[in-house]
Amino acid sequence: KAGVTQTPRYLIKTRGQQVTLSCSPISGHRSVSWYQQTPGQGLQFLFEYFSETQRNKGNFPGRFSGRQFSNSRSEMNVSTLELGDSALYLCASSPPPSGGPYEQYFGPGTRLTVT
């Protein structure tokens, strides 16, 4: 079974621009979560989607948004990029059913650099 895939793997953007990152979960997985990893703040939860609905949200400004499609693929968007948004963005998917603490399978991440 193919793992979680994230595109692109690397991205360079300029301050003020917006960016969209994509995540394809493992086939059959319906829950997709996003995390930001930075040297200063570590790994932080952004949001989780299940069946096209945002089910949980971390403590990030409204510039960070996401969505999930009917095939469970997910995208996250960051508008008005700031230098501090430079990070590794990780996507993770979980198998059904989603009513418990099932392990999350992580993708390789998208490395975003904001200049």
Closest-CA residue to 31 (of 5, 52, 58): 52
24 binds another protein (CB under 8 A): no
33 binds another protein (CB under 8 A): yes
Q: Which of 8, 16, 61, 108 binds another protein (CB under 8 A)?
A: 108
Nearer to another protein, 73 or 102 (CB): 102
Pairing of strands 10-13, 110-114: parallel
Residue 104 Cβ, how far from another protein at the closest point, in Å? 7
Closest-CA residue to 104 (of 52, 49, 41, 22): 49
Closest-CA residue to 37 (of 111, 87, 109): 87
Site for another protein in 87-106 (CB under 8 A): 90, 92, 94, 98-106
12 binds another protein (CB under 8 A): no
Q: Which of 21, 68, 109, 112 binds another protein (CB under 8 A)?
A: 109
35 binds another protein (CB under 8 A): yes
User: Exposed, middle or buried by CB within 10 Å (0-12, 13-18, 19+), for 74?
Assistant: buried
26 binds another protein (CB under 8 A): no
Residue type, 47: F
23 binds another protein (CB under 8 A): no
